[in-house]
Amino acid sequence: MTSSEIHNLPDDFQVSTDDILIYFYANNKSSVKNKVVFTKNMFCLLQHGVKEVQTPAGKETVLNHEMLMLTSGSVLMSETLADNGKYEAILIFFGNKTLFDFCARQGLTAHKKTNQKTVIKLVRDEFLNHYCDSLKLLHQEHHIQMDELKVQEILAYIQSKYPEKFRQFISQAFTDTADIKLKQVVDLHANKGLSITELAFLSHMSVSTFKRHFSDIYHMPPHKYIMQIKMEQAKALLSMHKRPSDIYSELGYENLPAFSTEFKKQFGLSPKQFQDGLIKKAIELEA
């Protein structure tokens, strides 16, 4: 990194990623006050060297036995090489979608909205040291599903071992804790046949506000997402040999023709044709 330009991370690493990236960063030159814009939240597990982070709320130094927890946003960052001439860190990037999902499953909400970006750091304990070792072992055979599991692992550990620091972190990460409430409501009720108006009411939002926040979180309109959930549930129920006439009301449809029309629109088959295909495949496998 150089201090003369603005770095957007993790985008500048030019590694294809969705919401999660585990990146092994190394540098052989010290640098001062790099302008860095983090487009995702980041955990930094420093291995060699010293990091200095300047935020609007102040400055913090991070040593190689510590872990830095930083939410998305702009900071000034300096890097100093260790005595062995190395600067190395394991960087764990994850967006608010991953954090929303985790907090919704755990029933967590932030204490309050915060306007100041402070630096949160931990002294690495035995678990976190072993966690670093596990990431190094997995690094040789990179797989996005393993990255997702490892991010869930460290979020769960920090939330359990350092709950106050974790709540401070999510307070900084979430500009509006209503988004967590919305995610919890949708995860619990999207397949219960409730209307968008009813989901908005349970989220303590107007319909227009609900739709706007929903699109920010799920990157699609609520009716499209709910339809996908219903159709996947329909396939699961039909695979259990339940009759279409027995499940349409459970999925929130007023009558069987409405359900059948939507199912065929989504999958190109009627519910009955879908079930007949499953039966045919089962017979072929047994033959």
Alpha-carbon span 12 to 216, nearest angstrom: 23
- Domain final residue, candidates 125, 153, 173: 173
pLDDT tens per residue across span 59-97:
899 999 999 999 888 788 999 999 999 999 999 999 988
Kindly tell me if the per-residue pLDDT of 283 is higher than 70.
Answer: yes
User: What is the model's pLDDT at position 265?
Assistant: 92
Give yes or no for residue 98 having a pLDDT over 90: yes
Q: Is residue 43 part of a domain?
A: yes
Domain-ending residue, one of 154, 173, 192 = 173
CATH code of the domain covering residue 223: 1.10.10.60
Per-residue confidence at 57, pLDDT binned at 50, 70, 90?
low
Asked whether 5 and 73 are in contact (CB, 8 A), the reply is no
Query: Could you tell me if 256 and 281 lie in one domain?
Result: yes
Asked whether residue 3 carries a pLDDT value surpassing 70, the answer given is no
In the sheet that 20-27 helps form, which strands lie side by side, from edge to edge?
20-27, 87-94, 41-48, 66-70, 120-123
Distance CA 220, CA 229 (A): 13
CA distance 118 to 150: 25
- The alpha helices in the chain, defined as continuous H runs, are 96-106, 126-139, 144-161, 163-173, 178-189, 196-202, 207-218, 222-239, 244-247, 256-267, 271-286
Tell me what pLDDT residue 270 has.
Answer: 93
Q: Which domain holds residue 207?
A: 178-286
Cα 253–Cα 256–Cα 261 angle in degrees, nearest 5: 85
* DSSP for residue 114: -
Whether residue 153 has pLDDT greater than 60: yes
Residues 168 and 182 in one domain: no
Instruction: Tell me the average pLDDT across 118-144.
Output: 89
Q: Which of 41-50, 138-147, 166-175 is least confident? A: 138-147
Write the DSSP symbol of residue 116: S
The residue-averaged pLDDT of 1-27 equals 83
How far apart are the C-alpha atoms of 266 and 235, rounded to whole Å?
Answer: 11
- On whether both 133 and 205 belong to a single domain, the answer is no
Are 168 and 185 within one domain? no
> Is the domain of 190 the same as that of 104?
no
Find the largest Cα–Cα distance for the chain.
73
State whether 129 and 222 are in the same domain: no
Would you say residue 93 lies in a domain?
A: yes
Q: Are residues 137 and 220 in the same domain?
A: no
Residue 223: how many CB atoms within 10 A of its CB?
12
Tokens of 167: 């709540």
Distances (CA, A) of 154 to 45, 64, 138, 150, 186: 11, 18, 15, 6, 25
pLDDT at 86: 94
Bigger pLDDT: 16 vs 130: 130
Contact 193, 250 (CB under 8 A): yes
Buried b (16+ CB within 10 A) or exposed e, 194-206: beeeebbebbebe
pLDDT tens readout for residues 167-213: 999 988 876 556 767 887 887 777 777 788 888 888 878 899 999 98
Domain CATH code at residue 39: 2.60.120.280
Q: Out of 173, 200, 230, pick the residue that ends a domain.
A: 173
Over residues 3-28, mean pLDDT: 86
Q: Are residues 217 and 152 in the same domain?
A: no
* End-to-end CA separation in angstroms for the chain: 63
Q: Is the per-residue pLDDT at 113 higher than 60?
A: no
- Position 219 confidence tier, pLDDT thresholds 50, 70, 90: confident
pLDDT of residue 58: 72
Q: Are residues 156 and 94 in the same domain?
A: yes
Instruction: Give the 3-state DSSP-derived string for 14-80, with helices as H, strands as E and coil as C.
Output: CCCCCCEEEEEEEECCCEEEEEEEECCEEEEEEEECEEEEEECCEEEEECCCEEEEECCEEEEEEEE
The pLDDT-based confidence of 15 (bands split at 50, 70, 90) is confident
Write down the pLDDT at residue 251.
85
- What pLDDT was estimated at residue 188? 77
Q: Based on the domain organization, do 191 and 158 belong to the same domain?
A: no
pLDDT band at 37 (very low <50, low <70, confident <90, very high): confident
Total domains, the chain: 2
Give yes or no for a contact between 131 and 151, defined as CB atoms under 8 angstroms apart. Answer: no
Say whether both 52 and 134 belong to one domain: yes
How far, in Å, CA of 62 to CA of 119, rounded? 10
**1 falls within a domain:** no
183 and 166 together in one domain: no
